[in-house]
Structures are given as C-alpha cells and as structure tokens.
C-alpha cells in the first residue's frame, strides 16, 4: 500500500517540478527583457539630453528649432512607452514570484506529508547560496540596474526569509524604489524593517529614508514626525545628524 501511495504521489511531484521550472525560465526570460529595455531607455535618455542642450542653446533657426522640439517630443513618447513596458514586466515578475513560491510551498508540504522530509529551497536565478544572491542584487543596485535589483532582492526575500540579511534586503529593496521615485513602495519596504526588525542594523537608515520619502510625496508633516522619531531613538547616529539638517533646512524645530 505504501508503494502504491508513492507511485500515486510521483506524477503530482513531477507536474509541480515542470510548472516550477517553466515559471523559473519565464522569470529569467523577463529578466533578460528588462536588461534590453533598460538599455533602450538609457539610449533614449542620452538622445533627449543632447537635444535639450541644442534647443536650449538657441543656435538654430526657428524652423530647425521646431524640428528639434518635435524630435524631443518623439523621444519623450518613446521613453514613456519604455516605462510602461518596464511596469508591465515588473508586474509579471511579481506574479511569477508569487506563483513559484506557491508551487514550492505546495511541493514542500506534499513532500513532507509523504516522506517526512523537507526540501531545501532553490533559487530561481540558479543561485542556491543566499550570500551570492544578495551580492548579485547589491551589485545591480550599485550599477543603477534598479529594476533587476528589485527582482533579485524580492527573490532573496522570498527564498531566504529566515536569514540574518533579510532586513537588509528589505532596506536595499526600498532604496531601489526610492531611486525610481516609487516612494509608496519604498515606504512599504522601510516600514517592514521598522515594524518587524526592531534590532536591525539598518533601522536608523530605514527611518531616515522613510522620512525623506514622505517629504518627496508631499507629506511634510508625517515626514517631520518620522525624522523626529529617528532623532529621539538614535540621537548620536549619523542618520539623526542628517535628519536634523533636513529639519533645520525646512525651519522645523527638532
């Protein structure tokens, strides 16, 4: 009877593996697409910058200048289309990460019920070492590849949620969103640290960045409160010093 149970379970396990492998491949394909789209965006931004210099210099006659302005609008439209494509790809990434996580959790639960053992998580980018994945995500952040870094930090959080660097992953994820001016998403990441990791070594930095994100969103009152809380909690920190400078520049008492 036990042998029959194993045989019945095997097809289900194989289906789960196939689905998971397909989703992982889709994720890598999207990552490649993001690289290409970001390269296009970079080129278009360079073109736009060059045109803005020519238009601003007013060295051309009115007719030529009008043509430059028309070309400038064309490039801007192209950039807007690229941004929409990036958003679309990011939405697909979120969907696939959720799908893969659900498939793996389901597979682990079935495996535990049938064998009494739990499988080790396997990273979607072919990296099974959490430090290696974190380093890859950090490197992409430092290169300005924020969309790719977002994928990788999310990947890290999904797969290695019990490691000691997960709070740092949330912090750098928040910085990626901050650089992309997605302040609401950035605040969500910083809030995760503030609420769930009170002993984190990046808590002060997360509080500072949350406050600055609130200012960027136009919520100056809430931003000031957040920076004042930072100063009270970590009065001697470099983050508190930066918070004081921000409040002083805005003539807000601290």
Question: Chunked in runs of 10, what are the mean pLDDT values of the chain (254 residues)?
Answer: 36 42 69 72 76 65 66 80 74 65 56 48 56 90 90 92 94 96 96 96 96 94 94 94 91 66
Q: Judge if 106 and 14 occupy the same domain.
A: yes
To 5 degrees, how large is the angle CA 65–CA 71–CA 75?
145
What distance, in Å, lies between the first and last C-alpha atoms of the chain? 72
CATH code for position 144? 1.25.40.10
Q: Are 130 and 115 part of one and the same domain?
A: no
Question: How far apart, in Å, are the Cα atoms of 223 and each of 176, 189, 200, 219, 220?
Answer: 19, 16, 21, 6, 5
Angle at which helices 62-115 and 2-57 cross, to 10°? 170
Residues in contact with 228: Cβ distance below 8 Å, sequence separation at least 6, in sequence order = 243, 247, 254
In this prediction, residue 5 carries a pLDDT of 37
- Does 226 lie in the same domain as 146? yes
Contact present, 239 and 208 (Cβ < 8 Å): yes
Same domain, 250 and 130: yes
Per-residue pLDDT, 122: 41
Which position has the token pair 């989703």?
23
- pLDDT value, residue 126: 53
pTM of the predicted protein model: 0.58
For residues 104 and 163, state if they share a domain.
no
**Same domain flag for 137 and 217:** yes
Quick one: 157 and 215 in the same domain?
yes
Domain that holds residue 49: 1-119
SS3 201: coil
* Last-in-domain residue among 100, 119, 138: 119
Same domain, yes or no, for 130 and 113? no
The whole-angstrom separation of Cα 233 and Cα 225 is 12
The position carrying tokens 């696939």 is 96
Q: How far apart are CA 54 and CA 48, in angstroms?
A: 10
Residue 170's pLDDT is 97
Residues 154 and 237 in one domain: yes
Q: Tell me, what's the pLDDT at 21?
A: 65
Number of domains in the chain: 2
The last residue of one of the domains, among 63, 89, 119, is 119
pLDDT digits (tens, 9 = 90+) for 13-55: 333 444 556 666 776 777 777 767 767 777 777 787 777 777 6
Residue 191: count of CB within 10 angstroms of its CB = 15
CA atoms of 184 and 51, how far apart (whole Å): 32
Q: Cα 250 vs. chain centroid, distance in angstroms?
A: 30
| One domain for residues 114 and 130 | no
Whether residue 97 sits in one domain with residue 149: no
Query: Which tokens in the block code for residue 28?
Result: 């890598």
Boundary-marking domain end, from 119, 139, 168: 119
How many other C-beta atoms lie within 10 A of the C-beta of residue 171?
24
Burial pattern 20-55, b for ≥16 Cβ within 10 A else e, equals beebbebbeebbeebeebbebbeebeebbeebeebb
Helix (H, G, I), strand (E, B) or coil at 183: helix
Residues 144 and 200 in one domain: yes
* pLDDT of 249: 87
What integer pLDDT is reported at residue 77 of this predicted model? 80
């Amino acid at each position: 009877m036990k042998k029959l149970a194993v045989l019945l379970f095997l097809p289900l396990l194989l289906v789960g593996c196939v689905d998971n492998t397909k989703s992982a491949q889709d994720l890598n394909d999207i990552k490649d697409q993001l690289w290409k789209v970001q390269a296009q965006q970079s080129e278009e931004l360079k073109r736009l910058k060059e045109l803005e210099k020519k238009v601003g210099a007013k060295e051309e006659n009115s007719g030529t200048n009008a043509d430059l302005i028309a070309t400038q609008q064309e490039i801007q439209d192209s950039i807007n289309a690229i941004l929409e494509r990036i958003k679309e790809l990011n939405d697909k990434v979120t969907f696939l990460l959720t799908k893969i996580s659900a498939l793996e959790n389901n597979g682990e639960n079935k495996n535990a019920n049938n064998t009494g053992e739990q499988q080790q998580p396997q990273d979607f980018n072919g990296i099974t070492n959490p430090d290696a994945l974190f380093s890859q995500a950090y490197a992409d952040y430092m290169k300005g590849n924020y969309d790719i870094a977002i994928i990788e930090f999310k990947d890290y959080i999904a797969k290695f949620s019990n490691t000691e660097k997960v709070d740092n992953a949330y912090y750098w994820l928040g910085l990626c969103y901050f650089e992309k001016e997605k302040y609401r998403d950035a605040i969500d990441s910083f809030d995760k640290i503030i609420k769930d990791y009170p002993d984190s070594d990046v808590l002060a930095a997360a509080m500072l960045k949350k406050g600055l994100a609130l200012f960027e969103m136009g919520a100056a009152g809430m931003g000031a409160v957040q920076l004042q809380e930072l100063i009270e909690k970590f009065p001697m920190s470099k983050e508190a010093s930066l918070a004081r400078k921000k409040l002083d520049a805005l003539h807000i008492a601290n």
